[in-house]
Amino acid sequence: MSLSGIIREPVPYVVEDDRSSDSPTVFHIKPQTVRDSLRLANSVQRATTEKRGKTRFDDAKMMGVLLEEWAKVVVKIENYKIPKGAVGVDGNGEEDMHAKYEGRVDASAIDPKGVITINAISEEERRDVLKMLEPKYQQEVMDAADNASTLRGAEKN
């Protein structure tokens, strides 16, 4: 094995639970550098307050930090499925994401069960996917961005 520098080009990544799927969701992740990690740490620090020796997080600020970081790391998402009743959760509450995208997509992107398949390219679409994504998958994607060897090992074939 030889050492190499950090790849800055987006790498296709499929979360572990979706790798055996016939049509997995593919996250195109831009690997993080030390500078990116320091910037994130500073943003998180600004979203916290210290009172009586206890650290408190401002939920709205933390969600803003998470959405901003996600938009920088995940540059494209392919084949994401939005089932009926899917909601997006952020610091402002819940939003019906199925209704939001139902009018935006071609009829061919909606299967007979009403599941919508999108390719999230714009920043708004990528942020919407984050709002719908289970926390364990959010964490897996962000962890992969911080670990180049994990990211390279899970590239889409």
Tell me phi and psi for residue 154, to 5 degrees. Answer: -115, 20
Q: Please, are residues 6 and 148 in contact by the beta-carbon 8 Å criterion? A: yes
Distance CA 12, CA 30 (A): 9
Residues 6+ apart with CB under 8 A from 41: none
* Domain ranges across the chain: 11-153
Distance CA 27, CA 138 (A): 11
pTM: 0.80
In eight-state DSSP terms, residue 44 is H
Residue of 121, 105, 153 lying closest to 27 (CA atoms): 121
109-157 pLDDT per residue, tens: 899 999 999 998 999 999 899 999 998 999 999 888 888 776 665 555 4
53-78 pLDDT per residue, tens: 888 877 778 788 888 888 888 999 99
